[in-house]
């Protein structure tokens, strides 16, 4: 079993971080380190974190740098062969979660990431991985379904959800560009889809491993406010510019007519200022995103 660096990002997480930390510290495997990156919490989060000085390596940011940059900070300060990105609202189930995901990577040298089975608090499926469709929609596999034996089979999938995913450091390094494992231009949301696509293009596989289970309460990624709609729309186009194939670019007009046109009209209707902000930012950063295709 490889040494695991666990990276947790917090921002006003006082209501949920204790259970997450307790589940990590309750793991049977001690071949681990826990790094928490706090994005300028103003509640009691930092007080909770500082009460565990022997368990946590704490990085404090003066402002909210975003989820992607905070993860990169944690990885840059980590030593593990494997990197577990873990949301602050996830509770690991059982004492052998770390052992299971680590062994999942150990068994397959071509596997760059392992996706655990993630459940909601009510027991329904939260995600068994990420799917990217013909229309370049990204969504959580089996989300909302009742857990059943059919979800207890290992399989290879497109990508892993950052709520809880174990990455191989070697795989991350091969996709890293200017010290960015996760694209910091994304701020948050879709950064895991982008990384999954880049790993796939580099020849790394992602495996769904149902033996490892976590409970995910869901925060930012399940919100449907103006800010998350703006991030999702903008980051969709960042991701496509960085990763789409030549054939994919040729069919994007069809994709836009079938899917994006209606999504953009909805965005313009309910929040025109953020829609216009999205278009300005995508246009401004398009050359930068196309340049990132080199990695």
Query: pLDDT at position 84, please?
Result: 98
Report, as an integer, the average pLDDT of 47-55: 95
Q: For residue 129, give the CATH number of its domain.
A: 3.90.550.10
Query: pLDDT at position 71, please?
Result: 98
- Of all helices (H) and strands (E), which one includes residue 191? helix 191-201
Residues 290 and 272 in one domain: yes
Q: Residue 242: which pLDDT band, with cuts at 50, 70 and 90?
A: very high
Report, as an integer, the average pLDDT of 160-177: 96
Residues 44 and 152 in one domain: yes
Q: Which domain, by its residues, includes 12?
A: 4-220
Residues 216 and 230 in one domain: no
Q: Residue 178: which pLDDT band, with cuts at 50, 70 and 90?
A: confident
Q: What percent of the chain has pLDDT over 70?
A: 98
How far lies 138's CA from each of 71, 158, 206, 232, in Å? 21, 10, 15, 10
Q: Residue 2: which pLDDT band, with cuts at 50, 70 and 90?
A: confident
Q: Residue 223: which pLDDT band, with cuts at 50, 70 and 90?
A: low
Q: Answer with the residue of higher pLDDT: 2 or 145.
A: 145
pLDDT 10s digits, 96-150: 999 999 999 999 999 999 999 999 999 999 999 999 999 999 999 999 999 999 9
Residues 182 and 40 in one domain: yes
Residue 222 has pLDDT above 80, yes or no: no
Report, as an integer, the average pLDDT of 214-230: 79
Residues 212 and 235 in one domain: no
Q: 171-199: buried (b, 16+ CB within 10 Å) or exposed (e) per residue?
A: bbeebbeeebbbbbbbbbbbbbbbbbbbb
Residues 233 and 161 in one domain: no
Q: Answer with the residue of higher pLDDT: 1 or 89.
A: 89
Q: What percent of the chain has pLDDT over 90?
A: 92
Residues 11 and 138 in one domain: yes
Residues 162 and 265 in one domain: no
Distance between CA 283 and CA 277 in Å, rounded? 10
User: Which of 201, 220, 239 marks a domain boundary?
Assistant: 220
Query: pLDDT at position 295, please?
Result: 67
Residues 234 and 134 in one domain: no
Q: Is residue 62 classed as helix, strand or coil in its secondary structure? A: coil
User: Which of 159, 193, 220 marks a domain boundary?
Assistant: 220
pLDDT 10s digits, 78-89: 999 999 999 999
Contact 57/32 with Cβ under 8 angstroms? no
Tally of structural domains, the chain: 2
Residues 166 and 269 in one domain: no
Contact 229/188 with Cβ under 8 angstroms? no
Residue corresponding to tokens 């091969």: 174
Report, as an integer, the average pLDDT of 20-41: 97
Residues 102 and 192 in one domain: yes
User: Which of 220, 255, 284 marks a domain boundary?
Assistant: 220
Report, as an integer, the average pLDDT of 43-61: 96
Average pLDDT, the chain: 95
Residues 141 and 166 in one domain: yes
């Amino acid at each position: 079993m490889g040494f695991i660096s666990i990276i947790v990002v917090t921002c006003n997480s006082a209501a949920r971080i204790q259970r997450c930390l307790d589940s990590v510290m309750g793991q049977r495997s001690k071949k681990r380190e826990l790094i928490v990156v706090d994005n300028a919490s103003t509640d009691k989060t930092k007080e909770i974190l500082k009460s565990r000085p022997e368990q946590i390596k704490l990085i404090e940011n003066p402002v909210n740098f975003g989820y992607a940059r905070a993860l990169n900070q944690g990885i840059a300060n980590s030593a593990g062969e494997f990197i577990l990105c873990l949301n602050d609202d996830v509770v690991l189930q059982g004492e052998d979660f770390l052992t299971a995901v680590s062994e999942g990577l150990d068994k397959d040298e071509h596997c760059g990431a392992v996706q655990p089975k993630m459940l909601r608090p009510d027991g329904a499926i939260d995600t068994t991985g990420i799917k990217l469709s013909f229309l370049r929609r990204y969504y959580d596999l089996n989300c909302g379904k009742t857990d059943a034996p059919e979800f207890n089979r290992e399989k290879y999938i497109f990508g892993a959800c950052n709520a809880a995913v174990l990455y191989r450091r070697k795989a991350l390094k091969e996709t890293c560009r200017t010290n960015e494992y996760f694209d910091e231009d994304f701020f948050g949301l879709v950064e895991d889809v982008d990384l999954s696509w880049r790993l796939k293009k580099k020849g790394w596989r992602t495996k769904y491993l149902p033996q490892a289970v976590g409970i995910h309460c869901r925060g930012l990624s399940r919100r449907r406010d103006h800010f998350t709609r703006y991030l999702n729309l903008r980051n969709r186009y960042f991701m496509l510019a960085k990763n789409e194939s030549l054939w994919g670019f040729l069919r994007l007009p069809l994709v836009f007519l079938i899917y994006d046109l209606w999504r953009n009209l909805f965005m313009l209707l309910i929040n025109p200022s953020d829609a216009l902000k999205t278009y300005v930012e995508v246009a401004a950063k398009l050359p930068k995103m196309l340049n990132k295709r080199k990695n």
